[in-house]
Amino acid sequence: MFYLLNVAYARSPVFLLTALAVGLGGGVSPALAQTIFGVSVSPHDPAASRLPSNGTTYTVTFTVTDTSNAISPLIYDLLTTQRPGGFLTTVSITGSGVTQGANPDSAQVTLPPGGAVVATVTYSVGDVTAGSIDTLVFLARPALSPATSDSAKLVVTVIRPSVTVVKAVKPGGTAPPGTDLTYTVTLTNTGTENAVNVVHVDSVPAQLGFKVGSVSTSLPGGVTGAVAYSNNNGTTWTYVPVSAGCSAPAGYDYCVRAIRLSLSNPLSHVGPNNIVQLVFVAQVK
């Protein structure tokens, strides 16, 4: 008996060596099964809208499946890149049996024939302007056949709230002592995401005396807010205004130095529910 070694090459799929045993009688029987490499990654095109990370991270999962006809486990490289890059950063690649490389952009996993693993990519989002777009590319390939691969991409669009503050007073101009001034503070979320934990602080100058009970708010449906007062320029917020406070005329309080409005619910970025108003009255001393 003698052995004939037959080698086949292809770009994709890739073949391993095939050994054939040829008997003296002319019969041919396979000694080694031909192995075709193959791998599949899913889903291919997920998308996400994310706030800048601000110390937090986000995750996306990809399923890597061995589609070869191997009869023994194969090692797969798991790699991430960013296109065009600039604000997405891979923090880690994890999963059952996944071994993280020295670089957070790479890892390896061993899969049995037909096996699959869910790979979790943890990433962070840089502090960039709303509407910025970057793409995280995830690629899986057999370590023995780098030319055989499959990839998926996550398209990330940055969103963020943007709250503007406009303050108006009536009457305008220079007012004589004893004049009541009505201040209207308008907060508007003009961003691309709801604003969470909105807190606005408005100071009351020493030249003015706060009118007790004059505060009112206009809030969108489903949003509640709490008003607090400070008599020490915001160091504490436990003060309760009283008539004639700090030797003010009846109905006014000279002790109030700041007013705070804290929203208990997110402020929408969609009008008309993206607007909040705070109104109060102060008298010129």
Distance CA 111, CA 74 (A): 6
Q: Which residue shows structure tokens 């997920």?
A: 46
Rounded average pLDDT over 167-176 = 94
Q: What is the pTM of this model?
A: 0.69
* 217 contacts 264 by C-beta, under 8 angstroms: no
**Tens of pLDDT, residues 110-163:** 999 999 999 999 999 999 999 999 999 999 999 999 999 999 999 999 999 999
Residue 270 neighbours by CB under 8 Å, 6+ apart: none
Close Cβ partners of 283 (under 8 Å, ≥ 6 residues apart):
178, 179, 180, 181, 208, 209, 211, 249, 252
Q: Which pLDDT score, from 0 to 100, does residue 143 have? A: 97
| Amino acid found at 79 | L
pLDDT at 97: 98
Reported as a single tens digit per residue, the pLDDT across 75-91 is 999 999 999 999 999 99
What b-and-e string marks burial along 49-72, b requiring 16 or more CB atoms within 10 Å of the CB?
ebbbbeeeebebebebbbbbebee
DSSP state of 191: S
What confidence tier does 194 reach under pLDDT thresholds 50, 70, 90? very high
Q: What is the distance between the alpha carbons of residues 114 and 38, in angstroms, rounded to a whole number?
A: 10
Alpha carbon 218 to its chain centroid, in Å, reads: 30
